[in-house]
Amino acid sequence: MNPLANAQNLASLAYFGPETVLTVGVLSLFVLDLVWKRHPKRVVPLTAAMAVVLLASAVALAISPLQPVALFNRMIVSDGLGTFFKWIFLATAAYTAGIVAHSDEIPSERLGEFYALLLAILLGMDLMAVSSDLLMVYLSLELVSMVSYALAGFRKHDSRSTEAALKYVIYGGVASGIMLFGISYLYGLFGTTDLMLLAPKVRAFSGGLFLQTTLGQSPAAQLAMVVAVVFVLAGVGFKMAVAPWHMWCPDVYEGAPTPFTAFLSVGPKAAGFAVAVRFFGVAFTELRGDAFVNTTTVPWPAILGILAAVTMTLGNLTALGQTNLKRLLAYSSIAHAGYLLMGLAAASVLGFQAVLAYLAIYLFMNLGAFLVVTAIAQRTGGETIAEYRGLIKRAPFTAIAFTIFLFSLTGLPPLAGFTGKYLLFAALLERGGGWYVALAVVGAINSAISLYYYARVVKAMVLDKPVTEAKVAMPGTYGFLMLGSVAALFLFGLYWTPLYTVTQAATRSMLRQ
């Protein structure tokens, strides 16, 4: 089928399986929550229902047609890139559900509500990954944001949680407002919000034809274009937690229920990158060989490169002084957003591919780390590094798993974090040239800096003496999740050809016109 021959609404539904399943799932979980409201053992059936929905969504995703096609009058597309991100979101949601089921931060009478809202965010993120119209991007981003505000403030009687939600709302509201303003500029300049239709117009604009005929005064139009891009980036950057839109991140991470923090640090961040990859990859570039060549006069690779350098340096330097583990991981996740931006800045197939692969790896190491934080906070009641002293004596397996997650976040081989860093650096150096090399050097120095704070946690766990000798018991699910994550990190660290192939196919399958 010719992708430009748009699938009409009914025909589109064939490609809309996972989203349909999730929509039904959100509604049915709300109903089931009401049905089992008074049931003393409601945790089990609710979790089972959640598992069924996720499984159904996975099946729908697995059987959804592969060829790229635009759906619903070009509002969204169905392509390999979107599918890849949907798998990442699904895995993140499933992992989070696994953490929540045994967490006492979410009281069991509100578990159904939590699950339903989680599915709603998942739906929003899925839509973000496939939106090919800026309005659709905005709507799905707002869906994710709105539900996130509710979940960040989920513990109503905890003032930190409420504060987190309020900060999140204010920052989020401003960021998405700015984004909408940027979108209006783009619409004003080009008369469309469709990314794929935008592409030829943007190219013509930069070619100068458009300028002479319509706008006349080129400098003002150029400026409007830069402003539009930066403003759109504000909304997306807020989701990615990239400087200078990262301020909400540590407070929200600290205040939100830990399982949701875990989700927040991976899911919406990945969704932000999904939007960014599509936004820049479709509307602003031309794919020539292996490079996404910038077709505009807006130096967006340079803008992203500078943001990357600032973000990772800021994240890493601030993380050095943190003693609360949730805040430490918040700053670390800011730093990782900076690393990921390097891949976007490379503006090449390998660069975008590195972003995808890094996110897939980041999912396991960061969720694994937050899983440990959740479990330890639950058993010992604290989130500071001091709680982790001598953990190797009290919970040897957990301590070793956490060590592996942290060293993977540092990027040490043979763990998967190294694979991700390697691909990002390779993308930059493949482009070559002084600027890209300088950015890579900044990234490399940053990963050496990050070792210091990750190793501080490891030092507390392994080298320090425990405060008490009492063993820390772990639920079986947590043990299973940890083991699975550790196995994934070793697998992707030692043999990542499949990851490379899949991400390459996903990047190249991006529907561009």
Residues within the interface to other proteins (CB under 8 A)? 407, 410, 412-414, 418, 421-422, 425-426, 429-430, 432-434, 437-438, 440-441, 444-445, 447-448, 451-452, 455, 459, 462-463, 495-497, 500-501, 504
Closer residue to other proteins in complex, CB, 413/484: 413
> In whole angstroms, how close is the CB of 76 to other proteins at the nearest point?
31
Residue 244, preceding peptide bond in cis (omega within 30° of 0): yes
Beta bridge partners of 70: 77
When the beta carbons of 45 and 396 are compared against other proteins, the nearer one is: 396
Shorter beta-carbon distance to other proteins: residue 173 or 414 = 414
Do residues 123 and 143 touch, judged by C-beta distance below 8 A? yes
Instruction: Kindly tell me which of 35 and 317 has the beta carbon lying closer to other proteins.
Output: 317
Cis peptide before 3 (omega within 30 of 0): no
Q: Between 378 and 504, whose beta carbon lies closer to other proteins? A: 504
Containing H/E element for 287?
Answer: strand 285-288
DSSP secondary structure string, 64-84? S--S-EEETTTTEEE-HHHHH
Between CA 218 and CA 236 the distance in angstroms is 27
Q: Quote the distance between the C-alpha of residue 287 and its chain's center.
A: 25
Residue 504 CB, shortest distance to other proteins, in Å, is 8
Residue 494: CB minimum distance to other proteins, A: 9
Kind plus residue range of the DSSP H or E element containing 319 = helix 300-319
- Amino acid identity, residue 511? L
Report the DSSP pairing between strands 76-78 and 69-71. Answer: antiparallel
* Rounded Cα distance, 56 and 11, in Å: 21
> CB of 138: closest distance to other proteins in angstroms?
36
Least distance in angstroms from the C-beta of 422 to other proteins = 7
Distance (Å) of CA 401 to CA 101, 305, 370, 405, 408: 20, 33, 12, 6, 10
Shortest distance, position 108 Cβ to other proteins, whole Å: 32
Residue 108's SS3 state is: helix
Sign of the Cα torsion 42, 45, 51, 55 reads negative
Choice between 224 and 426, CB closer to other proteins: 426
Shortest separation between residue 412's beta carbon and other proteins, angstroms: 6
| Least Å from the CB of residue 396 to other proteins | 9
Q: Which residue lies nearer to other proteins by CB, 14 or 494?
A: 494
> How many alpha carbons fall within 13 Å on the CB side of residue 22?
24
Minimum distance from residue 391 beta carbon to other proteins (Å): 13
* Residue closer to other proteins (CB basis): 20 or 384: 384
Q: In one letter, which amino acid is 315?
A: G
Q: Closer to other proteins at the Cβ: 138 or 407?
A: 407
d(CA 333, CA 270): 11
Residue with tokens 């469709």: 194
Closest distance between other proteins and the C-beta of residue 435, in Å? 10
Q: Report the C-alpha gap between 66 and 198 in whole angstroms.
A: 24
Token pair recorded at residue 11: 């025909």
CB-nearer residue toward other proteins: 185 or 422: 422
Closest CA relative to residue 309, chosen from 424, 475, 161, 159: 424
Q: How far is CA 158 from CA 96, 270, 319, in A?
A: 21, 28, 25
CA-based end-to-end distance of the chain: 13
Q: Considering the complex, state which of residue 161 and residue 403 has its C-beta at the smaller distance from other proteins.
A: 403
Cβ atoms 163, 256 nearer than 8 A: no
- Tell me the angle at which helices 476-494 and 80-101 cross, rounded to the nearest 10 degrees: 150
Q: Quick one: 11 or 441, whose CB is closer to other proteins?
A: 441
CB of 31 to other proteins, least distance (A): 45
Is 159 or 501 the residue whose CB approaches other proteins more closely? Answer: 501
Q: Name residue, tokens 């229920």.
A: 257
CB of 499 to other proteins, least distance (A): 10
Cβ-in-10-Å burial (0-12, 13-18, 19+) of 78 comes to: buried
> What is the nearest approach in angstroms of other proteins to the Cβ of residue 358?
15
CA atoms of 297 and 295, how far apart (whole Å) = 7
